[in-house]
């Protein structure tokens, strides 16, 4: 159990048998009336974000979430196989738990796997990943009909929008959270 004064970003609470992670919180002490805590909670399983207000001093059940550093090994059907670096145990994680991040996984990439009572909740990839462009159309100088971007397929199979000057074989820095282009990496 935790008190509202123990709230911090990333803390996972168990509310109505649902795991909710605190994204942000704010302690409010109005001039009149009792203090309260305003929180923004994200459902760990569904990803739905809700706002919730708590009276100050309320006790809330905290869920123990075990975060482990793991290495991505390979893709096998609908499962992605990861290895725990400490125990060398391998585990298959379903594509649904990975979400959009599955398109940015490279072999031997270090990720963080969050687990609760032996069940995988989510997988956190590094914020930026460096991936090579496998296929894209040549960009024509002066072609600005598409706001200066074109689709490119990465070596992992994911498709992202890139500037017109990007060519096949270029190594790009991509934001793994939303798939946005961040820049070219000089080799």
The span from the CA of 28 to the CA of 98, in Å, is 36
What local confidence, expressed as pLDDT, does residue 144 receive? 56
Answer whether 59's CB lies under 8 Å from 1's CB.
yes
pTM for the model? 0.71
What local confidence, expressed as pLDDT, does residue 140 receive? 65
Within 10 angstroms of residue 34's Cβ, the number of other Cβ atoms is 10
Q: Which residue has the tokens 């070596």?
A: 155
HSE at residue 47, side-chain half, CA atoms within 13 A, is: 7
- pLDDT, tens digit only, all 187 positions of the chain: 888 888 888 888 888 888 888 889 999 898 888 999 999 998 887 778 899 998 988 898 988 888 889 999 998 888 899 998 888 889 888 887 777 788 888 899 999 888 888 888 888 888 899 999 999 888 666 655 556 788 899 998 889 998 888 888 999 999 988 888 898 888 6
Q: Which residue has the tokens 């796997």?
A: 113
Q: Which domains does the chain have, with CATH numbers?
A: 2-60 (2.30.30.30), 66-124 (2.40.50.140), 128-184 (2.40.50.140)
The span from the CA of 152 to the CA of 167, in Å, is 9
Answer whether 181's CB lies under 8 Å from 163's CB.
yes
């Amino acid at each position: 159990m935790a008190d509202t004064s123990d709230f911090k970003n990333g803390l996972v609470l168990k509310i109505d048998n649902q795991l909710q992670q605190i994204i942000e919180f704010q302690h409010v002490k109005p001039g009149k009336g009792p203090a309260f805590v305003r929180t923004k909670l994200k459902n760990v399983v569904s990803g739905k974000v809700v706002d919730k207000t708590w009276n100050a001093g309320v006790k809330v059940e905290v869920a123990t979430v075990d975060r482990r550093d793991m290495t991505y090994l390979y893709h096998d059907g609908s499962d992605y196989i990861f290895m725990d670096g400490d125990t060398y145990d391998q585990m298959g994680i379903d594509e649904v738990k990975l979400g959009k991040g599955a398109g940015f996984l490279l072999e031997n990439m270090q990720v963080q796997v969050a687990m609760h009572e032996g069940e995988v909740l989510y997988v956190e990839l590094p914020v930026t990943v460096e991936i090579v462009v496998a296929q894209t159309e040549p960009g024509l100088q002066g072609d600005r009909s598409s706001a200066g971007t074109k689709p490119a397929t990465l070596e992992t199979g994911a498709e992202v929008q890139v500037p017109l000057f990007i060519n096949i074989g270029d190594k790009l820095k991509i934001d793994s959270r939303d798939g946005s282009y961040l820049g070219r990496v000089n080799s």
